[in-house]
Each structure stands twice: as structure tokens, then as C-alpha cells.
Structure 1
């Protein structure tokens, strides 16, 4: 039998108390980001509070399952490193667009999540071939378009929700939109996040978003702006059931959109896994990488079945591994088990669902802005000096991706199928970036790394 002294630090099983404390720390670091996605998607799709609470429970539950799968590993799935898995911010904008699409709704969202998960699982071993179509100039452009698309959602949340509400005779103005108190509370959340990030270090800096939301909620409670309806009646424990929103439907455009986004997420995960291998002093082979990316795909399938979204590795938890120096994958596995338990506590989900939209909007300004900034960071790795034509790739693709955001009826006169494709800004911008990159940067013009780019982008979740 192998002694603990011969085990790699990644495989070391720490004492139970230590595992629990360190696992809880990982949960706290990623908790705000994990619940933010279902809150934002559910709010944008105008789901009732009960359904929003279920989304949060399902999200936490699946975060835990996929984290344990990634850390512990089953067959050829899971990278077996200290990784925390959570819903991907990169996929939020296309998921909202699918959910709001005529005749689509939540069934199409979950169908696209499941189908993109199958695509990811199958494509994982062939990542090097896929990545050649997504060098930094393409990946950075796609992430930038996604970030800008998300900012529209965050800005509306700051003002208190949507500018219009459905009425008996058509949309009517939202009387609570832009109320000064809402803007002030959102500003206090944003200020708290920035002050904590600027003045504190370590663990507290890592939970700056969570602290900002807590401050905003406290102020909202003082002004009587938080409704705790439903918390008392909610059960203390309840299992998350599959297909809560009904059987999924599979729309080709929705599937194509999320599959493109999953390629971007796989490229980001590649960079993150390589970095984590260096931090953990366990180099990541191509076989390891394929196992880790397969877990992303299986995570999507699990998420679609249980009523949540696309999954990816959370970079803030990788930072925590580096800060603490604790490399044991079993710490993250225990954190995953904690998330599964939290997902089965409906009272906690109802409490999170009670957060006013403007409180979440203050935090979203930072989180979504960081997605856009990550796109700019990835673009900084592209060659704009020796190859000025890359500017055309970014300029035209961003411009096309913005059309559905600023002119909702721009393609209304086109045939239905064409309008459906072109009205998806992320899909339109992504295809534009890939095609323009092929036009200006034909194969052979630049050397590529084994993963198809000069340098690998980092995770933006």
C-alpha cells in the first residue's frame, strides 16, 4: 500500500476538520459568482420567485456534482486537480437570448445546454484542431462581444429591472425603473466591491463581490425594499429533481450558439488547466486536458437535465490554491459535497432569490465588465503591430455583434431563418471573427502552439 509520504500533494487526503474548513473557504470564494448567474438569467427571463429559487438550488447542486466529478474523476472524465466548477458567465448572454426567443423559452435553453455538452464531450480530444480556428484575435473578440452584451443586462438591473413591463395592450413603462434610491444602493454595492478589492488582500479580497452584495442587501433591508415572502413556507430540505421546467427542446440555432461559446470556454479552460498544473507541480498532459474538458461537457449535460446552465472552471478558486498553497484535490471535492447539500436547502435559495435586482446590478457591473475586460486582455496577445489587418477582424465583428443590442428590429424584414441567425449578436460576431481571421490570416502566416494560438487565454468566469 502506498504511504501518504509517497503521495503527490494533489492526492493527499488531509484531516477531516482541515478538509471541511478549507472546503468551506472554496465555497465562499465562488458562492457569489455561482448564484449570480441563475439570479441574472431568471431575472432577465422574468421568472417568478419560486422558479428563481429553484434555479439557484439546481445551480448549487450541479456545481457540487460537477466539481466532484472533475476532482475525483470517473473513467476518462475529470482532470483530478483541485478545481471548482461553476456556471460560466461567458454563456449568460446567449442563454438569455435563447430564453427570450419567440417559441423557445426555458426548454430550448436546457436543450441547447445538453446538446452543447455532448458536442464538448466529443470535441474534447480534438481541442488542438478546434483551437486553430480560435486564435487570440478571434477568442478575444468573442469574449468582448459577450461581455458587452452582458453589460446591457447589468445596467438594466442597476436601474431596477427592465425599462418596460408586459401590459394588457402591449409593453408599458416600468415606474420603478431608474428610481434614485435603486441607483444609490447599486452604487454602494459597486463602491464596496472596489474598496474591498483595493484595500484588502487574500481571502477577503476574493469575496469582495459577496461582501458588496451583503452591504447592498443590508441597506435595502433598512429601507424596507427586500421581500422575504416564501422563505417561511419553503422546506428546509428538498431534493433537486430533473426536468423541473419540462422536457427540453432542441433548436438548431440555439445549439449552434452555445456550441460556439463552449469552444471559447474550452480554450479558456485549457489555459486555466495548464496554469493549475504549474501551480500544483503536476504537469497537464494532452490526456489530462481531454479528461478535464470532457468534464465540462458532462457538466453541461448534468446542468441541462437538472435545470441549470453551462459549466466551467472558476479561476478565482485557482487563485485561492496559489494563495493558500493547499493543492489537495480532496479539499475541492469536499467543497463540492457542501455545494450539493446547499443546493438541497430551499430556504437558502429563497433567501438568495430575495436579493433586489439593483443590488445584484451593482455587483454585475464589476463581474460583467471583467468579462469584457478579459476579452481585451486576450486581444492584447494578438498581433496588431506586425499584422494591422487584425484590427479589421475586431472592428467589424464587434460592430456586427452590437446590431441586435442597439437595433432590435434591424433584421425583421428578412426571412425567418436568416433573421433568427442574424439577430443573435454573439453568434453573428463569432462567425464574423472566424471568417475574417481566415480572410486576413490564412493558414501558414503565423506559427501556432500545440493548442492553435500564440498564447492561451485565461479563464474569465
Structure 2
């Protein structure tokens, strides 16, 4: 009797090496600028040397690679095993600058290490909150992720630095438009493998145009080192201060809220149900990766929302593609010259690709909300208020400046703030189990 082969889920598909590397590289190019932004901000805020900044960036890329492999491949009850790329969380920037000015980098790494272990331990209990994420909340969060990321793409399209004299100049906007046009054209004209590489082709094409126009150069590649290994605890043994640890634990809780939203969003896009055990495994990976990151001289790690849009654009759902991205990040951390090559991509080119990627996240959120019933319940008000509140910090970033520091940590992100509002409003208006029309299946 002939056995019928078991169909492999698209999430678990292992592709041939060439397309897998190409798709993985595409993810890295999409997140590289965001991945190195936090080390640059911390180095500038603490007045670190160029050599120290280089070490932070290399360590950051290595840790991101390790964290991505943990999340995508997984082991024991650690890792969600979905295409989720990891990077340094922006939620930690403000508290780390305060800690760093008092205790230096060892104080930051001590607080991050304890916060990571704390997140790892409470993950099973935190995952029980998934019952408060019915489809109306999930769809709202996915939409919020896209809306919250659009300003990043707009800044990139303008040239990266709003204070620069040539910000939003014709040549920057022109490069962004050319890159976006290449992405859309490739996506429309070609099918299959080539179409799925539309973002990568757009980035390469836009960079080539920028080079011939004289708006980028690769001189940094020649001056960068070939090998740059940063040993663990390079900046000294961690310093453990109770106040610093407490503030970083608050950051960790915020990161866990964001990760919950990102994990559910990716699960929705790739068609893999995120239940309590999978969410707990996802959160454990975040906690473990953050603790490892502290030892490797870098900062808290969590899911990179930017890459959710890339999964939506390409339709490539394989977690092994993102695992390949993790290996590429590891290599970039070991070989600074390769990182310098990717860093040569102009911000305006990234902006053109970012408009397509982040817009696709919004479209995915709208599609998810399209499956939600808005009759006989309060779902319309939940979506309206949550998205409106989530946009407050996008319109006016310092809106909550008069609030206590711990509250600013929670409210700095439109994704976090809007997600919390969506969850709370759903509980208050639809009940803790959600409205029956919005929960056709109970989460076990």
C-alpha cells in the first residue's frame, strides 16, 4: 500500500539554498537600518568613541542573528517557529540612556540581563493573556503596526535626518519614487521567484541609480575591518542596580505586549494559529535572547515589526527563510566590511521600499478586520478609539512628556498604547471572552 506523503506547511517549507538566501537577504536589507539605530543613539547619548560604537553595532548584529535563530528554529519550549526576525527594541532607548549616564554600559547590561531572565520566567503566565486578543483586537493591532511604521518610511524617503538641509529634497524624493516604482513594477510584471524579490530588486536598483547620480558611495566599505569579534562582557562585568533593574523590567513588560501583538499578527498572515503554548514559547525566546544579548554587549531584543510587511508583500511564509536571515546577521556581526556595504544603501532608497512594506501591513490589518463582525457589538468603537489613541505619539511624539518616566516608557509607542486600549476596551465593552460574533472558536 502506497503511503500518501504528508503535505508540508508553507511555514515549515525548506527551500533550495539560492532562493532561501535571496529571500533571507531581502529581510536583512529591510531591517538593517533599524537594527543599528539603537546602538548609534545610545553611543551618541553617552558620548562613546567610534571604536566603542563599532563594537556595539557588531555585537548587536550578532545578537540579532542568534535571537532570530532561536525564534525561528526553536528548541524545547523556546521559539515560536514562525518567520519572525529579531532586533533591538526601541522601547528600551530612553531608560537605557538614563541608566547609562549613572552607571555606564555595565549598568545597562546588568539591568537588561535581569529583565531578560524575568521575561523568560513569567512567559507562561503572560501568555494566558492571549484570550484577550480576539480578531477585532488582532486586526486593530496589525493595522496599528503598519500605521506606526509609516513615519519611519517617510523619514527615510526624505533622506533620513529631518534636520538635514537636503531633507525631502528633489533628489531624495526622486530616489524614493524610483525605488517604489521598481518594487511595484517587478511585483506586477513578474511572477513567482522574481516577483517575491521585488523589495530586494528595488533596493539594489535604487542604490545603483543613487550611485550613478553621485548620491552614495562605498568608501566606508574599504575602510571597514574584515573581521571584528567582540568578546562577551567586553565593557566589563555587569552592574546590578535595583532602580535600573526595575525600570528595565517595565520595559520588558512593554516589549512582551508588543511581541504578543507581533506574534499574533504574523501568525494571522502566515496562517499558523498562535495559541497559549506557542505564544509562551515566543515570549521565552524574547527573554532568553535579551539575557544573551546583555552578555554579548547589546540591548533588549524583540520582534521587528518592519519585516511583517515583507512577509505580506512576498507571500513567502517559510520560517527557514528568516532563519537564513539570522545566519546572515551573524556573519555581518563577524565581518564589519559586509555590514558597511549594506549600510551604504541611501535612506531615500529604503524609504521607497518601506512605503510598500509598511503599507502592506496596513492592508493586512484591514483584511483581518474585514473578517470581523461589526453588527450587534461594539467592535466599530473599539477599532476607532484604539487607532486614534495609537496615533497620538505619531502626531506629537512628546505628548506624554509631563507623565512619569515609567508611564512614558509604556506610552512612547503607538503600537503599545493602541494595543492596550484595544484590549481594555474589548474587555469593558464586549466582555473578557469577547463578543460571541467575534469569537467563533474558543482558544484552548
Shorter-chain TM band: 0.7 to 0.9
Pair 1:57–1:381, CA change in 2 (3 A): farther
Aligned residues: 413
Task: Say which of 272, 288, 291 aligns to 1:275.
Answer: 272
Give SS of 1:310's match: strand
Aligned match of 1:440: 429
Deviations 1:229-285 (A, max 9, x none): 432222212224446788695425433321210221332455578639xxxxxxx99
- TM value normalised by structure 2: 0.74
Separation (CA, whole Å) in 2 of partners of 1:119 and 1:375: 31
Separation (CA, whole Å) in 1 of partners of 2:75 and 2:259: 22
Tell me by how many angstroms 1:56 deviates: 6.3
Separation (CA, whole Å) in 2 of partners of 1:20 and 1:137: 39
Separation (CA, whole Å) in 1 of partners of 2:207 and 2:324: 29
> 1:386-397 counterparts in 2 under 5 A?
386-387=376-377, 389-397=378-386
Pair 1:450–1:125, CA change in 2 (3 A): farther
List gaps (5 residues or longer) in structure 1: 11-17, 165-173, 277-283, 453-461
Tell me by how many angstroms 1:101 deviates: 6.9
Aligned match of 2:11: none
> 1:399-418 counterparts in 2 under 5 A?
399-414=388-403, 418=407
> 1:24-103 counterparts in 2 under 5 A?
24-38=21-35, 57-58=58-59, 60-69=61-70, 73-78=74-79, 85-87=84-86, 95-96=89-90, 98-99=92-93, 103=97
List gaps (5 residues or longer) in structure 2: 9-14
Task: Say which of 446, 451, 456 aligns to 2:443.
Answer: 451
Aligned match of 2:12: none
> 1:2-401 counterparts in 2 under 5 A?
20-21=17-18, 23-38=20-35, 57-58=58-59, 60-69=61-70, 73-78=74-79, 85-87=84-86, 95-96=89-90, 98-99=92-93, 103-104=97-98, 118=117, 121-122=120-121, 124-125=123-124, 129-164=128-163, 174-242=164-232, 250=245, 251-252=247-248, 253-268=250-265, 270-271=267-268, 275=272, 291=281, 294-303=284-293, 305-306=295-296, 307=298, 309-311=301-303, 337=327, 339-387=329-377, 389-401=378-390
Separation (CA, whole Å) in 1 of partners of 2:269 and 2:215: 40
- TM value normalised by structure 1: 0.72
Which structure has more helix as a fraction of its residues? 2
Contact residue 141 and residue 265 of structure 2 kept, 8 A: no
Deviations 1:79-116 (A, max 9, x none): 6x6x655226xxx8xx4464357944987998897677
Contact residue 58 and residue 228 of structure 2 kept, 8 A: no
Separation (CA, whole Å) in 2 of partners of 1:64 and 1:415: 34
Give SS of 2:389's match: helix
Separation (CA, whole Å) in 1 of partners of 2:295 and 2:372: 38
Separation (CA, whole Å) in 1 of partners of 2:319 and 2:384: 44
Tell me by how many angstroms 1:138 deviates: 1.9
Contact residue 119 and residue 259 of structure 1 kept, 8 A: no
Tell me by how many angstroms 1:221 deviates: 0.9
The RMSD of aligned alpha carbons is 4.4
Separation (CA, whole Å) in 2 of partners of 1:198 and 1:257: 39
Tell me by how many angstroms 1:127 deviates: 7.0
